[in-house]
Structure 1
Amino acid sequence: MTLALRLTGVCVACSLLGTALGIWMWQWLDAGAILAALVIACVVAGLAARLLTRQLYTSLASLETGLLNFKDNDFSVRVPETGTGQLRNLSILFNEAAARLRQERQYIYQRELLLDKVIHSSPNVMLLLDDNNRVIYSNDAARHLLNQGQMINGLMLSELEVRLPAEFHNALQSGTDGLFSVGDGEVQTWHLSRGRFQLNGQRHHLLLLKQMTRELSRQEVSVWKKIIRVIGHELNNSLAPISSMVNSGKLICRDYHEPKLDLIFNTIEDRTAHLSQFIFNYTRFAKMPLPSQETVEWSPFLAQLAAQYSFKLEGALPEYPGWFDRIQLEQVLLNLLKNAHESGSANDDICMLLESEHRESKSGVRISVSDRGSGMSADVLRQALLPFYSTKRSGSGIGLSLCREIVEAHDGQISLHNRDGGGLSVNIWLPAEMAASQQQDKRHTQ
């Protein structure tokens, strides 16, 4: 039996009791006494009903308060689990629902934090626009690209486009997806994709910009490495028996004392050794190990370089030490200094500059090796970092491509530029060690 039915039964019982009492007293008492007795009976019945309904009123008031909190997205309230029967069951179910909602809300909040962290850590540029091209949401990469790391939410996309190269503006205005290139000397390839959806009854636009330059370079280098491994394997299979046959031929013909035979065998042996060294250089490029990075002080490192190729150091050294594979970066810089000395530049015009530089929301160091040689044509600049490409008659075309492989393995960047007034400048950017990077980031934001 429910509480409501119980209360109804109590009230009916009190009324019947008062009526019976009045009929009984009608026979013995006068009308005034009977009326007083009826009033007393009604008062007693009312007090009894109020005592019995107080618990119901309190429980219903608690449930009402809890539901109002639910309406305000507050699921922390609990109602007292008092009483018996269905009223107690209702309170228990309410508290279980509140606990489940709290758990679900915490789970959703944690997922939102994780998603927000992933989005802001992504190197891809993400922009959410309303139907008027006003920025609703943006990640860190978008803010660094469009507004030097400052907030852009609420700004119009047209206000931000004026700070970008013309290629960006044309791509954003085209309304299509696809690849586009930016820059003349140091060409960067980007991919733009768009999405449209309804949110809260309003149409929104999602723009994603991805830097594809490094990815395309990695794919290109991966193909070159595969080709080099295949060619190197086949050539080594042929060179080994050729070398063995040359040695055997020398032993057989050593008693003939024929100068022409000696010339033939020596030529074959010399060219075989040259081809073996050529294959070794390319195989080294194809099997370049991952860098073993460590903290390196700049002064002793540069002194070792200067002992092999002279250069003039411009400016002061960075405040923080470098973070790279000492042997691999030494190989890169020695190759660049060698090229500078072979460019026709005077030794006094060969310079190296090291300075801290914030790039792509990361701190690092830029190393520039410059000369006053003949420089490079536009076609050579575009292909100089490709394997097999060389403008030197005796060059293997592996030097600069090996430099790029090492620098990019350090998560860095390398670029070549002709200098005003003649000469070439090769710029290398390497990220700083985490501890030093955090200090530089803090200083950069102040």
Structure 2
Amino acid sequence: MKLRGRRGLETNIRLALLTMLAVGLGGWALAQLSSLLPVWLPPLLMLSVGLVLAWVLPIRMARPLSSLVNVLEAVRRQDFALRARTDREGVVGELAAEINRFADGLKSHGLAARQSDALLAKLMAEIELPVFTFDDEQRLTVANPAAERLCGGRLEPGTTAEALGLDQALAHADDSPLSLSLPGGAGRYLVGRRPFRLAGRPHQLLVLTEAGSALGAERREAWQGLVRVLGHEINNSLAPIKSLAHTLADAAADDSLDGEELKESLALIADRADALGRFVGGYATLARLPVPRLQTVNVERLARRVIELESRLAIDCQGEPISLEADPDQLEQALINLVKNAVDAVADNGGQVRLQWQRQGGGVLIEVVDNGPGPPPSENLFVPFFTTKSGGSGVGLLLARRIAELHEGWLRLESREPGPGARAVLWLPQRGLARR
């Protein structure tokens, strides 16, 4: 195709040169005959030939290009029915074929885009939460039916966020509920915002959730879980107490109760009462956990203070010099719980525990690693008051994770790989409660 195109171009150039040569020769011949012809005739003949060539040649050359322009204009209008003729030789034929392929590609991409838009519109319609998108000038581009109901009717693209009463939502920078007074409902809303780019311009996705319904569902779930845990733990404590009380009562009625049996039974009752007391005390600790009071904390200094509190085992402590913004008392309590769990796991077999830290992902990663038997295969490790240790309260890991969450961090417990043991991994942002 490229070779044929070059040949066609060369042919056109040759024809143009031959035409110019013929015109030149004709002019020369007329000049020679000018002595035999009237003075005005040679210029008139030359002018006539020039006018004919000036009219015919551009039309002949422009006609195929004009058809290509028509095809491109149709494509610009999203009309893909028109196609260019490809039976011409040379560059024009090649250009026509490329334009046709370009139009076919745009047609297929346009169909895919329309199908994607239709799917997105259907998904948006099915979402029960109000969803909006705004451009960089805070003008509405998309709103789903739930958003239109909240705003009291059909929303026109281009409407400003201020006119919709959503300018505060777009500027809302934290996770606290925002009070909004909208035609479809006044109340407190949780605001979700995500930036994205469309056609090279920044946009924002805005999702509103009624705080009452969201928090209500969370509260119901939390209370239901708490009731289940309370009922289970209290029954576990009261059942043996009740059984021992009946046994003691029957023995006292038969005068068959000796002092040693009475002592053992009362010790068991006291033990279960202590366990129940630890359970209630642990719940009170969780319930009273305050908002962190941030200070600059030297991680190494804090870590060494924690391991000094553990007398059962010498703990290896290592890490680079790092400081972060955190509540020192809460962070210390979290590390105490994690170190205690690790030491409990290895204390009977002379194992090892290592406390280490490093920078990672804009924060500080703190690890408590042991070579004990590893974490139990249970999904309840972070369930309130679940414990695998006799005499345990089941609060230690949960309290540590709650402290991490209050600092906008996270905690996970995983098997140590390679080798036996467990790894408690605590991550906290280095700047404390992310300064949003």
User: TM-score, structure 1 length as denominator?
Assistant: 0.42
Structure 2 length-normalised TM: 0.43
